[in-house]
Amino acid sequence: MSANPREARVVQAVHGRSRKPADPAYQAGLAEELRQSYGRAGLIELYGRFATGDGVVDSLMRKAIWQAITRRCGEGLQVASGAGFKHPETFEIGDGVFIGAQAYIQGRYDGTCVIGDNVWIGPMAYFDARDLVIEDSVGWGPGAKVLGSTHTALPIDVPIIRTDLEIRPVRICAEADIGTNATILPGVTIGKGAIVGAGAVVVSDVEPFSVAAGVPAKFIRWRSENDPMTNMSREGRS
């Protein structure tokens, strides 16, 4: 008898459940050679040649260039096609990080962007990463965003776009799970193990191991063993 197509099923997640094979030795050598030969501006230009392909060489070159151009980059990085960056020299990336297709991380020349181990970033995610910390084992849904800065909008007789920019740190604590198309506003901390619902706009801190959703996001409940959202987060992302 075939399974009911409307019936939910549970499958084992892939990302972060097992240690990925170490990068081949030649990859580190390639990254070092690229760093020595091209410099930062040259690496950014070179990245454009390999940014959108899905082949083995394109994938390898994306990884090697990220390793060469970031402040620190661990092993097992995966960068899908179309992923982009600005000021990658301010990035610190841990082991086993996945960056989805067309995701974009916008740093700032004097900023800090830290991404911990085993972080999974969905496609088309956007990060205003001028002062951003994403701790270990965070799941980041497709299209979810961080806004880390706003214009002061003062004085009012000056066009807003010309007013000063206020940068406020955003921290996503370990094991949190950010839903599809959610938006995290400047100065917000998402607590350890918290869940942010799809489409939420988070304007204030979210308590550890809580569930927040809505616009603006509000506390919904604490996580529990029998909560479907909790179970989905615990299984991680495939």
Enzyme catalytic residues = 151
Identity of the residue numbered 58: D
Q: What token pair was written down for 134?
A: 């994403």
Over the range 196-206, which residues count as b (16 or more CB within 10 Å of their CB) and which as e? bbebbbbeeeb
The answer to whether 87 and 107 have CB atoms below 8 angstroms apart is: yes
Q: Quickly count: other Cβ atoms within 10 Å of residue 47's Cβ.
A: 23
Give the residue from 96, 33, 101, 95 showing the smallest Cα distance to 64.
Answer: 33
- CA 140 to chain CA centroid, Å, is 6
